[in-house]
Amino acid sequence: MELKPGVITLALYKGKGQLFNALIRAWTGSIYSHCELVMPDGRWLSASAMDGGVRAKRIDYKPEHWELIPVPWANASWIEEVFERHQGKGYDWAGIFLSQLLGSGLHSERRMFCSEFCAVALGFTGIGQRYSPVLLGETVHRINRLPFVQLAHSLAEDRPDAKHA
């Protein structure tokens, strides 16, 4: 799938990456090791270990490295608000260990990891730290298959002037 201009998209990283990516894939039993939210203006938002935490950047999209899932129900204003509130926070290494590896749900309020940021930005507040990239991708796929989401998305496609919420 190609990136569609003007559509909020969840991007799941399946490229080789570095040792940390391999460890995440091994632990979760998934091909995914990182996630990003791609905004309609082309910015990719996430918390990145390589970039030191919550940030926005433009990524040179390579289809072989990413699975893209449109998120037609995402609220762009909410995502921007979450980003503004958390931009610059450091990467939550302890949260990855405590909430993902040990399953305790404990995490830092001053730091975030990628799937936590994306989950909170998509509205899964209070439980964002429970999501791994693969679980977040599965959740978004399931929401996208709900009949009322499909209906709303098809209605929006029929109205090209319709904006994302």
Residue among 117, 96, 119 nearest 107 (CA) = 96
Beta strand 111-112 pairing with 90-91: parallel
pLDDT of residue 139: 96
Judge whether residue 92 has pLDDT over 80: yes
Name beta bridge partners: 47. Answer: 54
**DSSP three-state, residue 146:** coil
Q: Which residues fall within 8 angstroms of residue 102, CB to CB, at 6 or more apart?
A: none
Average of per-residue pLDDT across 35-55: 96
N residues, the chain? 165
The overall average pLDDT reported for the chain is: 87
> 98-120: per-residue pLDDT in tens?
665 555 555 557 789 999 999 99
Q: Read off the pTM.
A: 0.87
pLDDT-derived band of residue 16, with 50, 70 and 90 as boundaries? very high
For the chain, give the percent of residues with pLDDT over 70: 84
